[in-house]
Amino acid sequence: MRSVGIDDLEPGMILGADLLHSGRMLLPAGSVITSGNIVFFQRQGIGDVKVLSSPQAEPDEESAEMAFRYVRDYFMFVNHDHPAIMTMFDISVRRTAVQIMEGWKLPTYEEQTVSELDDMRDLFFRDEGKVEDVVDAEIKIASFPDIFFKVKKVVDDPTASAQEIAAVVGLDVGISAQLLKLVNSPLYGFPSKIDSLSRAVALVGSKELCTLALGLSTISYFKDIPPELIDMRKFWLHSLTCGVFAKIIAEKVDGVVPEVMFTAGLLHDVGRLIIFKKMPCSSIQAMLYARENFIPLVEAEDMTLGFNHEDVAKDMLKKWNFPSELTDIISNHHSPQDAEAKIKATILQVADNLTNAIEISNGGMYVLPGIEDGAWELLDIDADCLSSIVEEYDRQIEDLFQVFFT
């Protein structure tokens, strides 16, 4: 993150910290700054603004040294000799160094710990309930957005035409608009503008479009999680980043049809949200435990809850009747060798680790969860390509973030 004077501010930059003015929130962190915003800030007399730094800069030696020491802690849990991990380490050190050079003050341990919750209660105490109880308690209070099942039905019908599918998706105006923005984003990279859902179905494919609709409706399902528990923008940025990586990596792996990978990334940690809603105190314990012991969250969940967000996702997605492939890879994104679709689950695991690696330079708090022994080799790709994947991501993320968060 760096400070930019108002005169140097340009549209497209991403706000690095909440912009407050005399106690009033003008724009939340993560917003993409528009020219309208800039005029408004000028009028408000804002001097300078914190924005996320551009990843192309070259770090100096001192910053690199500091970054190296800082980033090392986040790679405590993982195999240093793993080719993909080594590349991720390099990427992370470089990004962190650039941030430091641009004035980022490394957060101290104290600044990063989660605080306790005084007035929330878990569904049950340790060992007094099971994963299924957590999921059932969630399902009882709310049903999953109807749109998805309608879409699923037409998609499963082999005689349905692109028009018919488009008509059903179009029933949800919000989601249709988001879908169109998404398929017009650089992530899909179509040369000309797609201006109707039926064209989107024809170009992107009905399965992919339907899966995307599912992903988008899942995000809206979780919009009411209390902000003191978890920063939802950060959570979805993590998810979105993982989705982008999963899609780009999948495109490079031979013999994998990359459709569903973006949505898989988008939803990979959805189990955590259910845990947040139903077991808030234990979630906090898990986060603390992970931080204190240099272990990944998924492992800390096992220790503090007796189950983890993979287990929850598995049960939840089954009960929600999600497509089985999506359920399979999401429920095994930390243990891809247990998945039916091992390669896709591995792609998701690599994408998640890469996401964690680039989050370190934005104040991410958790160690890399690691790649299962023997998994990476299944992909048969060169670790070096992770760097170019991150560059590709950097070019896309601003636009994509806008699709989801405006």
* Residues near other proteins (CB under 8 A): 64, 68, 72, 75-81, 86-87, 89-91, 93-94, 110, 113, 115-116, 118, 121, 125-128, 281-282, 285-286, 288-289, 292-295, 299, 303-305, 370, 383-384, 387
Phi-psi region of 185 (alpha: psi -120 to 50; beta: other; left: phi over 0): beta
| CB of 2 or CB of 272, closer to Fe ion | 272
Question: What is the sign of the dihedral through the CA atoms of 97, 100, 106 and 112?
Answer: negative
Contact partner at residue 90 from Fe ion, other proteins, none, CB < 5 to 8 Å by partner kind: other proteins
Residue 224's binding partner, choosing from Fe ion, other proteins, none, with beta-carbon cut-off 5 to 8 A by kind? none
Using CB under 5 A as the binding rule, the residues of this chain from 315 to 354 that contact Fe ion are: 352
Among 102, 172, 269, 359, binds Fe ion (CB under 5 A): 269
Task: For residue 84, give every residue at least 6 positions away whose Cβ sits within 8 Å of its Cβ, in sequence order, or none.
Answer: 350, 353, 371, 376, 383, 386
Which H helix or E strand runs over 209?
A: helix 206-221
318 binds, among other proteins, Fe ion, none (CB under 5 to 8 A by kind): none
Q: Which is nearer to other proteins, 99 or 211 (CB)?
A: 99
289 binds, among Fe ion, other proteins, none (CB under 5 to 8 A by kind): other proteins
Q: Tell me how crowded residue 282 is: count the other CB atoms within 10 A of its CB.
A: 22
Distance separating alpha carbons of residues 140 and 192, to the nearest angstrom? 44
Nearer to Fe ion, 138 or 352 (CB): 352
Closer to other proteins by CB, 347 or 367: give it: 367
- Phi–psi pair at 366, nearest 5 degrees: -120, 150
The first and second tokens of residue 163, run together, are 């028009």
Strand ranges for 174-282 from DSSP E: none
Q: Report the partner that residue 269 touches, choosing among other proteins, Fe ion, none (CB closer than 5 to 8 A by kind).
A: Fe ion
Count other C-beta atoms under 10 Å from residue 203's C-beta. Answer: 15
359 binds Fe ion (CB under 5 A): no
How many Å apart are CA 86 and CA 80, to the nearest integer?
6
- What minimum distance in Å lies between the beta carbon of 119 and other proteins? 8
Distance CA 405, CA 372 (A): 33
Interatomic CA distance for residues 253 and 300, integer angstroms: 31
Q: 201 vs 305, which CB is nearer to other proteins?
A: 305
Residue 352 contact, options other proteins, Fe ion, none, Cβ 5-8 Å cut-off depending on partner type? Fe ion
Which neighbouring-strand residues pair with 79? none
Q: Which is nearer to other proteins, 81 or 254 (CB)?
A: 81
How far are the Cα atoms of 61, 113, 298, 382 from residue 293, in angstroms, in the given order? Answer: 30, 12, 13, 32
Residue 386: CB minimum distance to Fe ion, A: 16
Q: Which CB atom, from 112 or from 321, has the smaller least distance to other proteins? A: 112
Residue indicated by tokens 């018919």: 164
Supply the minimum distance, in Å, between the C-beta of residue 89 and other proteins: 6
Closest approach, Cβ 259 to other proteins, in A, equals: 29
User: Which positions lie near Fe ion, rule CB under 5 A?
Assistant: 269, 352
